[in-house]
Structure 1
């Protein structure tokens, strides 16, 4: 069932997001602080039963220099420098096991699979804490520190995403001039942020990206994570202006207005979690070459394995 705008209104939708005046300075200073506190990534070989993929355990400096974990995978027995795919994870998940998520390495790429701080106890295990105490929150991380952009959880997570690109370029066996960022849902939001904030990213893949056109999203879906914001505002009744201001600093539409790399979006028209109009708004705002894959009869799973295959093909063309 379609839950959002009908066509053709959907395809004409643009966001009414008003960005804060200091948006660019906010993110420039956030990343500068992280880089100043971070050293080179730490890399340790992990022995697995895999014969076609080699795996390393990576720790790199994220927001404020906080240690962030990741798995680094690449085709076994290949010594050449490879293009690298930096992949981000959906809400509630973590980096999982070293033998998970073998698609990109199997396709011939170096692959950095980045853990999500403070998550990883929902559908896959994580190993990265979020050491910042930020006051009351609705269950989940969506409202952690939400009344101030400086304390907001997604400031830290999106900074981790951009700094993961720095870390990927510093890994052994990587061609630093050929970098793609990819993800779905929350991972798609992180890909949009990294694609806009990191330097010279060559390709962006954002499937059903979360955290776009947020002020609209929280009024048209009660599904979580957006529903966590509504839960918070029901209790903290006098905070809506502060909350919406904070969310404007992490909105994927704002990052899309700054994105210039070739980008692939996917939208599902029956998605109750990420309303399709919010994805369309981000796609409309993207400034570089772009494509939009439409799944008319799918929910938040979107194209699933078909999206994965088409993403590999898209990245191969963009990084050629």
Structure 2
């Protein structure tokens, strides 16, 4: 599809076609990349989630949606919890969101499999339940917060929030069937990027779906203009090139090379916010069973978008049915 007449001062495809995108690689990462993340995961596992179930805020698609909070490495987190109105729970999902934050659960319901529950964590600092006084709530500030050190960078706190959400879900859902089973993960854009960073180190997950994932192949991303959080990072690096050493620990494509569970990737050919080469860098690096669904565009409206989204929902259900059991 041609997006002639788009309003951007750059090419959101960055000159790549599908064949070129399939050849994009991933940085190997720092020598202690694995050790850093295993250490973070071990520290996170010591934090008791102490989940607190709040009021029902919405009922739709056969689910009751509650506000919840829980503890994770880096502080108390907010989330939504979607529980089926009737019947048992056999599957559990953790669902990440885009960089706009999360105000409701509607876009993520119904879930890919029947008899499922899901926790939908809100990244620390982002609207609405994740807001923190000391953390910028807009993407351009959020993506730079704490970037002076790998130990303080906010993206690491967001990754830990996903691990904590999984722990909270397993405590909140009174299902012996779920308690002994592994989980599914779904994440789009920002949620896809932090999901790729979180999943290799957590064996509670059986399969994942990553849609237009961000944070893939930072060295390449630095060269590509965009309208998303990556542009803020590009500007910061011009003044602080040493930040590249920190960002090397938060490369979703580097992490994907350690990810061995089955992953469904939905990546776009045209995307002004998340450059497509970074998205495909994540998919191409995946070390386990993988499936690629190509989207015409991401973060941009286009004819046929609704139908393409419906098709992706169907494929997602089939994918998780295969790897987690229907």
TM-score (norm 1): 0.85
The partner residue of 1:208 within 208, 212, 218 is 212
Aligned to 2:80, the other structure's residue is in SS state: strand
Counterpart position of 2:157? 156
The partner residue of 2:85 within 69, 76, 100 is 76
For residues 143 and 254 of structure 1, the distance between their equivalents in structure 2, rounded to whole angstroms, comes to 20
Q: Is the 8 A contact 1:186 1:210 kept in 2?
A: yes
Quickly say closer, same or farther: Cα 1:102–1:26, change in 2 above 3 A.
Answer: same
Counterpart position of 1:119? 126
The partner residue of 2:190 within 166, 186, 189 is 186
Deviations 1:135-186, CA, capped at 9 Å, x for gaps: xx99431111212111111011111112222222222244131310101100
The partner residue of 1:87 within 78, 89, 95 is 95
Larger mean Cα displacement after TM superposition, 51-60 or 83-92: 51-60
Cα distance, 1:115 vs. partner?
Answer: 0.9
Alignment of 1:1-320 (within 5 A): 1=3, 2-15=13-26, 17-46=27-56, 48=58, 50=60, 52-64=62-74, 66-78=75-87, 80-94=88-102, 96-97=103-104, 101-104=108-111, 107-120=114-127, 126-130=128-132, 139-174=140-175, 175-176=178-179, 177-234=181-238, 237=239, 239-240=240-241, 242-295=242-295, 297-300=296-299, 303-320=308-325
Aligned to 1:129, the other structure's residue is in SS state: coil
Q: Is the 8 A contact 2:49 2:72 kept in 1?
A: no
For residues 69 and 167 of structure 2, the distance between their equivalents in structure 1, rounded to whole angstroms, comes to 12
For residues 192 and 259 of structure 2, the distance between their equivalents in structure 1, rounded to whole angstroms, comes to 13
Q: Is the 8 A contact 1:75 1:106 kept in 2?
A: no
Deviations 1:236-286, CA, capped at 9 Å, x for gaps: x2x21x211111111111221111111000111011222222222211211
TM-score (norm 2): 0.84
Larger mean Cα displacement after TM superposition, 152-161 or 195-204: 195-204
Quickly say closer, same or farther: Cα 1:77–1:45, change in 2 above 3 A.
Answer: farther
Counterpart position of 1:123? none
For residues 26 and 216 of structure 1, the distance between their equivalents in structure 2, rounded to whole angstroms, comes to 23
For residues 55 and 124 of structure 2, the distance between their equivalents in structure 1, rounded to whole angstroms, comes to 22
Q: Is the 8 A contact 1:257 1:285 kept in 2?
A: yes
Q: Is the 8 A contact 1:181 1:201 kept in 2?
A: yes
